[in-house]
Structures are given as C-alpha cells and as structure tokens.
Homo-oligomer: A and B are copies of this chain.
Amino acid sequence: MPSSRRAPLSRDRILRAAIKLADRHGLDALSMRKLATTLKVEAMSLYNHVANKDELLDGMVDIVIGEITRPTCGGDWKAALRARAASALSVMMAHPWAPMLVVSRIVVGPNMLAYIDATLATLREAGFSWHDTDRAWNTMDNYIYGFALQQQNFPVDPEEYASAAAAYLPMLPASVYPYMHEMSKHVAEGTLDGTHDFAFGLELILDGLERLRHART
C-alpha cells in the first residue's frame, strides 16, 4: 500500500512544482523538461495530467490567485478593498512571474472566479450600481497588476536608488531631458526617494470611488 516506487504524479503536484520552479528560477526557466526532472519524471508524463503548457500556466495562476485573502463584505468597504489590494500585491511580489501571466491571459479557474465574486460583492454591498461596480473593479485591478509589473521589472534595489540615479545622470543631459535630469539629481542627492508608492494611487482611486458613491445617493 505504501509501495509504488513509481512517482505518484498528479495535476496538483505538477502545478505546485511548477510554481516553486518559477518562483526560484523565473518563468523562462520553466520548461516542460526542467519541470519534469524536478519531479523525477520524463517530460511527456506531464501531459497525462495537463493538456499543454498553457493549461499548466493557467493552473499556476489560479492557485496563486487562491492565495489572495478575499474581501468580506458587510463592514467598511474601503478598508476591505484596501486589504484586498494589499494582499493581492503581496502575493504578486511573492510570485514575481504571476502578474505577467495574469494580465496576458484570461484565467477562469475556481479561485479566480471566487476572487472576483467576492470583490463584486464588496462593491455591491457598499451600494455601488452594477455599472459602477464593474468599472471600479477594473480600475482597481488595472492599477494593482500594473503596479506589480512595474515593481517587478524595476532593475535596482531600493537601497541603491540614489547611487543608481547618480550613475544614470550622465545619460540624461539637462539640455535634452531637463526634467528627467533634475528628477534624477534629486534622487541621487537623496532629496527625493525613488520609491514606488502603492498606497498613493490606490487611495486616489478609493477616494474617487467614495465621492462617486456619495454623489449617487
């Protein structure tokens, strides 16, 4: 009954191994063969459990979306959406390959659907019309994924912003790019931290939604 020296492959085991591999070595390193070897199996064996690589990627995304703590409606809608955004961002940062996949395909796994449903619920129970709910949800998610993507691809660590800005300054002559030049100078001098501020845009959106809500009641 324990037996089976044969690998007990399964769709779930494959997806989780794929996530681990992508987390560790990036999405480019995720090939069917490499994934198979981490599972001590041949590449083609995977196809007994996932139809093709696209389905594999979809499955990975849905699992990751499942890690986001879903908003619960009934309380303060703004706080709920803020928490949702924070959780989504932290999950996206934990799986750097995820936002790219989320935006480049339409995933309709159970976790994704439940996640969206909970979001719609929060907005509806807060009193938004269906029309506004639809637009509010899209606006927020555009911002969240956009921010995560930008953050992921930014090439320098936060503690190196100043030195990096100083290094790039010569490539931004004041005569050609006056504003970029001055901004980089401020970052280099520490007058401006180049930190990307997730809350800024989020609060802009949330405040806008709140005013919209008041205007319509």
* Chain A residues near B (Cβ < 8 Å): 100, 103-106, 108, 113-114, 116-117, 120-121, 124, 130-131, 133-135, 138-139, 141-143, 145-147, 149-150, 153-155, 171-172, 176-180, 182-183, 186, 191-192, 194, 196-197, 200-201, 203-205, 207-209, 211-212
Contact = CB atoms under 8 A, between A and B. Distances in A.
Q: Looking at chain A's contact residues, is the secondary structure mostly helix, strand, loop, or mixed?
A: helix
Given A120-B183, A146-B146, A113 B172 contact: yes
Nearest to A185: B130
A92 to B, nearest CB: 13
Copies in the complex: 2
A201 B142 contact: yes
B114 A177 contact: yes
Nearest to A108: B171
Contacts of A139: 143, 200-201, 204
B201 A117 contact: no
